[in-house]
Amino acid sequence: MAQKKSRPVKTRNGIPLTRDEYRQLKRQKEREERRKRQEAWEAARGPMDLPFLLLAMLLLAIGLIMLLSASFPSAQSSANLKNDGLYYFKRQVIFAAGGTLMMLSVSKINYERFRGFARLALYGSLALLVIVMIPGPNKYGRLLALGENGAARWLGIPGTSFTFQPSEVAKLGIIIYFAESISKKREKMSTFKEGFLPHIVILMVMVLLTAIEPHFSGAILIAGIGAAMMVVGGIHWGWVAAGAGTVGVTGYLLFFTEVIDNFFQAIKYNPTRLRVWRDPFGGDLAFRRDDAWQTIQSLYAIGSGGLLGVGLGKSRQKFNYLPEAKNDYIFAVVLEELGLVGGTLIMVLFALLIIRGFWLAIHARDRFGSLLIVGVTTQIALQTFLNIAVVTNFMPSTGISLPFFSAGGTALMLQLVEVGIILSVSRQIPAPKAR
């Protein structure tokens, strides 16, 4: 006959508890858990940061107006869109409304809950990046990835307008995972084995998967976000210096020598983009019509805008001269219609949003919240800078959108969700003490 297993005896300081004492201890723990949940709920009900919210909403409103102007000619001339000039605008408004609702909903969630989704966010992002790379029979050589303009970077439902880039999800995934992981390690972040090595390996895997899609600009953004969070998290400054040196040498090889052309060809990145960047008006006429066309038309738009612009809605380059006027090159339309003054004011709004974001990060209640804000704010800052740099030919042309402005519904919704995360953290920032 099998011997019956005895139940473990509950003890307090090594002394067995009676049944009544055990029940009392259990009720005490339950009350403590309810108290913590109540405190978390009350903390999440604090006032959100209105300056950050207003700046984000103002940029969104201006972005919708400029998208209407930039997209109207191409939509009106498209038979596939039934010559509906408002097509992209109406679509973006729907996503903006949905994204705003999601932003407000996320802002009411206690951001500490995001800790529980950290591993899921990381593994889910990696899975999506792998799925988009699966080889298959379509014209891009992929099984599930959808393509546009020669690149297969999207997943979605074929024949519908629902598509998204896994790299956009990966940005949010790396932000949440790094914030949770770095906040737990604290002083261990200065060590190589537990701080630098595991995070740089994860970051490099994500960067490599994104680069070979190919999505070079997405890889740059993910690398920049992760690097910024590691620096703020406290990695040793020796590794920061080594990383900066590596970036500098790599940048020189990529942009100012021919050594790296084979690499670009291996990842199917057009190396002629570097030649266009160095001298967009050089070469023969065929070169200027093909490879340099986008850059030249962008510069024409900027030049014709002058100081005050040609007027809202009066851009000439958007009439099928400037490719991707509604997407990556929408800021060229902004500069043409609103001029240097209008473009500068928009850049000032972005700068104020970024500065406010980092201010909130400094004043966040804890390390996890601070790192969440640093990640999101760094993404907005890098994406804005790189987009404007490409449009003005300070950097080689690559596919990178302008936050809140460029067409792309799922990207806009994710951006607004990230704004909601910042607002959630801002609710728990202690109020300044009265003197």
Burial of 352 (C-beta count, 10 Å sphere; 0-12/13-18/19+): middle
User: Binning pLDDT at 50, 70 and 90, where does residue 6 land?
Assistant: very low
What pLDDT does 1 receive?
46
Q: What percent of the chain stands above pLDDT 90?
A: 54
For residue 430, is it within any domain? Answer: no
User: Binning pLDDT at 50, 70 and 90, where does residue 265 land?
Assistant: low
Residues 171, 400 contacting (CB under 8 angstroms): no
Q: Are residues 298 and 367 in the same domain?
A: yes
Q: Are residues 313 and 373 in the same domain?
A: yes
Boundaries of domain holding 175: 111-269
Q: Are residues 334 and 214 in the same domain?
A: no
Q: Are residues 284 and 263 in the same domain?
A: no
Residues 52, 354 contacting (CB under 8 angstroms): no
Residues 225, 379 contacting (CB under 8 angstroms): yes
For residue 227, is it within any domain? Answer: yes
User: Binning pLDDT at 50, 70 and 90, where does residue 269 land?
Assistant: low
C-beta atoms surrounding 214 within 10 Å: 21
For residue 149, is it within any domain? Answer: yes
Q: Are residues 54 and 123 in the same domain?
A: no
Q: Are residues 80 and 208 in the same domain?
A: no
For residue 27, is it within any domain? Answer: no
For residue 11, is it within any domain? Answer: no
What pLDDT does 373 receive?
98
Amino acid letter for position 159: G
- Reply yes or no on whether the pLDDT at 135 is more than 90: no
The structure tokens listed for 92 are: 């973006």
Q: Are residues 115 and 104 in the same domain?
A: no
Higher pLDDT, 268 or 172: 172
Q: Are residues 212 and 153 in the same domain?
A: yes
What pLDDT does 271 receive?
60
Count: domains in the chain: 2
- Reply yes or no on whether the pLDDT at 13 is more than 90: no
Residues in Cβ contact with 17 at an 8 Å cutoff, skipping those fewer than 6 apart: 9, 10, 11, 25
What pLDDT does 367 receive?
94
Q: Are residues 240 and 303 in the same domain?
A: no
